[in-house]
A and B are shown apart, each in its own frame.
Chain A
Amino acid sequence: MKKTLFISSSAIFSLLLLCGCGSSAKRIDPSGDQGLVTTGDINTRDWQDVSTRCVNSLIASGALNRADGRKSVIMISSIKNSTDRAVNTGLLTNKIRQSILASGKALTTTAVGAKGAEDKATRQVRDLENDDIFNARTVAKRGTVIAPDMSLSGEIIKAETRDGRKIEANYMFHVVMTDLNTGLAVWEDTFEITKQETKSIF
């Protein structure tokens, strides 16, 4: 009887120890492959995957090249979030704009965006022309800001399927580059990420 009690208590104690064991926080490579993967959310690795494929497709397309040799100016418009989760689409657009600039084929503007200027300073500094503490000649002039030629927009869509304990989430990222002079889409592509998970019974 004593032996059984001892074995049972040892087993319970071991289980408690095992369950209670966690791991301390550690840094991981943000561009690495150790990031968490969940079906319910768009994870860091998903953003990386999509932005990598998006940048490859955009640069390869030649849509950024202009016949007159001038660099296109691109504004970042809206990325519509049609998923059931709050998503900061800047995680995608910031990487794309960084890559567009690094490519040397186009420039991006912060003077205009989907919800007004991304950087309000462009307009604010021009309001200083009537402020007598500033040297008027050093204030940025009106009529000098360059309007965008193209706009980057898109939509993120989520479709979820359940079959018993199995869940499948499909995220579709549709990205479009529009020529603002003609309204025509000069480049568009769709990138999909599908994840599957089997929930535990408990």
Chain B
Amino acid sequence: MKRIIFLTAILSVSITLFSGCQDTVNSMQNTPSSMKLEPVNASCYSTDDFCRDRLKILGMNKSVTPGGSMQIQVVIRSERYGFWSELWSGIMGDNPYYVNYKFDWLDQNGMKVNTANSAWMTAIFIPGETKFISSVAPSDKCKDFLLQLKEADSK
């Protein structure tokens, strides 16, 4: 009996230490904010519950660059913090969390514009980290876009 209690205690301490060793990001921001944002209304189609629960879209905004092109910026935070999330990502080797994303730009007729900036890019998230991913319209004719996100291997 004593042996079982001892082993359980050792296991619990090991798990706690293991998960406690992960670095998470803490953040602070000035309030009230002086930013004048132009939010983008978006419809989402999610096929991956894991990705949906592990990332939080904090905002999707647009602006016009000095070059006159439309720019989209998406603010994403990794929600993979907390005891169980950190424990699981530690066991699975998913810390940091790799996410691939791709912007496709469409012209006024809904046709995809082929350009060098329509390729899968990688964003690497530490638990709790906020990332700003952005893309610039390849030409002034592009006003619509499609953003795709997916979990990725750590490579």
Binding site for B on A (CB under 8 A): 31-33, 37, 45, 48-49, 51-53, 55-56, 59-65, 95-96, 98-99, 102-105
Contacts and interface: CB of A to CB of B under 8 A. Distances in A.
Contact of A62 (B68, B117, B119, B140): B68
Interface residues of B, number: 28
16 contacts: A31-B120, A32-B120, A33-B122, A48-B119, A52-B117, A52-B118, A55-B116, A55-B117, A56-B135, A60-B71, A60-B136, A62-B65, A62-B67, A98-B116, A103-B139, A104-B141
Interface of B: 65-69, 71, 100, 102, 113-122, 134-141, 152, 155
Given A61-B67, A62-B66, A103-B139, A56 B100 contact: no
Contact of B115 (A32, A53, A98, A105): A98
Contact of B119 (A31, A60, A98): A31
Majority DSSP secondary structure for residues of B touching A: loop
Residue among A33, A61, A63, A96 with max Cβ neighbours from chain B (10 Å):
A33
Contact of A64 (B67, B119, B155): B67
B120 A60 contact: no
Residue among B69, B119, B139 with max Cβ neighbours from chain A (10 Å):
B119
Contact of B117 (A37, A63, A99, A104): A99
Nearest to B141: A104
Contact of A102 (B68, B102, B138, B152): B138
A65 B115 contact: no
Residue among B65, B113, B155 with max Cβ neighbours from chain A (10 Å):
B155
B121 A49 contact: yes
Contacts of B122: 33, 49
Contacts of A61: 65-67
B90 to A, nearest CB: 18
Contacts of B139: 102-104
A59 B113 contact: no
